[in-house]
Chains A and B, each alone.
Chain A
Amino acid sequence: MPGPARVLVFAIGNTLRGDDGVAHRVADLLGERAGVQIRRVHQLTPELAEEFSNSQVVIFVDADATTDEVRLELLPPTRQPPPITHILRPAELLAIAKNLYDFRGAVYLCHVPAKDFTAGAPLTPTAEAGARAALEAVRAILEADPPD
Chain B
Amino acid sequence: MAERILIHPVTRIEGHAKISIWVNDAGEVESAQFHVTEFRGFEKICEGRPLHEMPGLMARVCGICPVSHVLASSKAGDALLGVEVPPAAVKQRRLANYAQVLQSHALSFFHLSAPDMLLGMDSAPEKRNVFGLIEHDADFARRGIRLRQFGQRVIELVGGKRIHPGWSVPGGVQNAVSVSARDEIAGWIPEAFESLRIALDRIKSLFDPFREEIEHIGNFPSLFLGTVNDDGALEYYDGVIRIVDSEGNIVADGLNPLRYHTYLAEASEEWSFMKFPFYKPLGYPGGKYRVGPLARLNVATSAGTPRADRELREFKQRGKGAVCQSFHYHLARLIEMLHAVERIEEIVADPELLSEDVRTKAIPNRREGIGSCEAPRGTLFHHYWVDADGVVRKANLLIATAQNNLAMNQSVEQTARHFVAPRQLREGMLNRVEAAIRCYDPCLSCSTHALGRMPLVIELRDRHSGSLIDRVERP
- Give the B-binding residues of A (Cβ under 8 A): 1, 41-43, 45-47, 49-50, 79, 81, 84-87, 95-96, 99-100
Query: Which residues of B lie under 8 Å from residue A81 when comparing CB positions?
Result: 11, 129-131
Q: Are A47 and B145 in contact (CB under 8 A)?
A: yes
Q: Contacts A42-B164, A45-B152, A46-B111; is A86 near B64 (CB within 8 Å)?
A: yes
Query: Which residue of B14, B138, B153, B161 is within 8 Å of A100 (Cβ)?
Result: B138
Q: How many residues on B have C-beta within 8 angstroms of the other chain's C-beta atoms? A: 28
Task: Give B115's nearest chain A residue, CB to CB.
Answer: A81
B287 shortest CB reach to chain A, Å: 31
Q: Are A50 and B131 in contact (CB under 8 A)?
A: no
A79 to B124, CA, bound (A): 14
Query: Which residue of A41, A46, A87 is within 8 Å of B145 (Cβ)?
Result: A46
Q: Are A47 and B152 in contact (CB under 8 A)?
A: yes
Task: Give A87's nearest chain B residue, CB to CB.
Answer: B63
A66 shortest CB reach to chain B, Å: 22
Query: Which residue of A1, A45, A86, A95 is within 8 Å of B131 (Cβ)?
Result: A95
Query: Which residue of B131, B149, B184 is within 8 Å of A47 (Cβ)?
Result: B149
- Give the A-binding residues of B (Cβ under 8 A): 11-14, 63-64, 107, 111-112, 129-131, 134-135, 138, 141-142, 145-146, 148-149, 152-153, 161-164, 184
Q: A47-B152, A50-B146 are in contact. List 19 more A-B contacts (CB 8 A).
A: A1-B184, A41-B163, A42-B164, A43-B163, A45-B163, A46-B145, A47-B149, A50-B145, A50-B149, A81-B129, A81-B130, A84-B14, A85-B14, A86-B64, A86-B107, A96-B130, A99-B131, A99-B138, A100-B141
Query: Which residues of B lie under 8 Å from residue A49 when comparing CB positions?
Result: 145
A103 shortest CB reach to chain B, Å: 13
Query: Which residues of B lie under 8 Å from residue A42 when comparing CB positions?
Result: 63, 161-164
A99 shortest CB reach to chain B, Å: 5
A86 to B129, CA, bound (A): 12
Query: Which residues of A lie under 8 Å from residue B149 when comparing CB positions?
Result: 47, 50
Q: Identify the interface centre among A43, A49, A81, A100: most chain B CB within 10 Å of its CB.
A: A81
Query: Which residues of A lie under 8 Å from residue B14 when comparing CB positions?
Result: 84-86
A86 to B142, CA, bound (A): 16
Query: Which residues of A lie under 8 Å from residue B142 when comparing CB positions?
Result: 100
A89 shortest CB reach to chain B, Å: 13
Query: Which residues of B lie under 8 Å from residue A99 when comparing CB positions?
Result: 131, 134-135, 138
Q: Are A96 and B112 in contact (CB under 8 A)?
A: no
Query: Which residues of B lie under 8 Å from residue A45 when comparing CB positions?
Result: 148, 152, 162-163
Query: Which residues of A lie under 8 Å from residue B63 when comparing CB positions?
Result: 42-43, 86-87
Query: Which residues of A lie under 8 Å from residue B162 when comparing CB positions?
Result: 42, 45
A79 shortest CB reach to chain B, Å: 5
A45 shortest CB reach to chain B, Å: 7
Q: Are B145 and A100 in contact (CB under 8 A)?
A: yes
A95 to B12, CA, bound (A): 18
Query: Which residues of A lie under 8 Å from residue B13 when comparing CB positions?
Result: 85
Query: Which residues of A lie under 8 Å from residue B112 when comparing CB positions?
Result: 85
A50 to B148, CA, bound (A): 12
A45 to B107, CA, bound (A): 10
A100 to B12, CA, bound (A): 20
Query: Which residues of A lie under 8 Å from residue B145 when comparing CB positions?
Result: 46-47, 49-50, 96, 100
Q: Identify the interface centre among A42, A50, A86, A96: most chain B CB within 10 Å of its CB.
A: A86
A124 to B375, CA, bound (A): 38
Q: Are B148 and A46 in contact (CB under 8 A)?
A: yes
Q: Are A100 and B134 in contact (CB under 8 A)?
A: yes
Ordered by A's residue number, 6 sampled pairs between the chains whose C-beta atoms are within 8 Å are: A42-B164, A47-B148, A84-B14, A99-B134, A100-B134, A100-B145
A124 to B260, CA, bound (A): 46
A95 to B161, CA, bound (A): 25
A93 shortest CB reach to chain B, Å: 11
Task: Give A47's nearest chain B residue, CB to CB.
Answer: B149
A85 shortest CB reach to chain B, Å: 5
Query: Which residue of A41, A85, A86, A87 is within 8 Å of B11 (Cβ)?
Result: A85
A84 to B145, CA, bound (A): 17
Q: Are A96 and B152 in contact (CB under 8 A)?
A: no
Task: Give B144's nearest chain A residue, CB to CB.
Answer: A46
B272 shortest CB reach to chain A, Å: 20
A79 to B138, CA, bound (A): 15
Query: Which residues of B lie under 8 Å from residue A84 when comparing CB positions?
Result: 14
* Interface pairs A-B: 3 shortest CB-CB: A47-B149, A81-B129, A42-B163
Query: Which residue of B11, B131, B164 is within 8 Å of A79 (Cβ)?
Result: B131
Q: Are B111 and A85 in contact (CB under 8 A)?
A: yes
A131 to B12, CA, bound (A): 35
A87 to B152, CA, bound (A): 14
A80 shortest CB reach to chain B, Å: 8
Query: Which residues of B lie under 8 Å from residue A100 when comparing CB positions?
Result: 134, 138, 141-142, 145
B11 shortest CB reach to chain A, Å: 7
Query: Which residues of B lie under 8 Å from residue A85 when comparing CB positions?
Result: 11-14, 111-112, 129
Task: Give A40's nearest chain B residue, CB to CB.
Answer: B161
Query: Which residues of A lie under 8 Å from residue B153 when comparing CB positions?
Result: 1
Task: Give A101's nearest chain B residue, CB to CB.
Answer: B142
Query: Which residues of A lie under 8 Å from residue B161 when comparing CB positions?
Result: 42
A16 shortest CB reach to chain B, Å: 8
Q: Contacts A81-B129, A85-B14; is A96 near B134 (CB within 8 Å)?
A: yes
A43 to B161, CA, bound (A): 12
A40 shortest CB reach to chain B, Å: 9
A42 to B13, CA, bound (A): 20
A95 to B145, CA, bound (A): 14
Query: Which residues of A lie under 8 Å from residue B152 when comparing CB positions?
Result: 45, 47
A62 to B60, CA, bound (A): 20
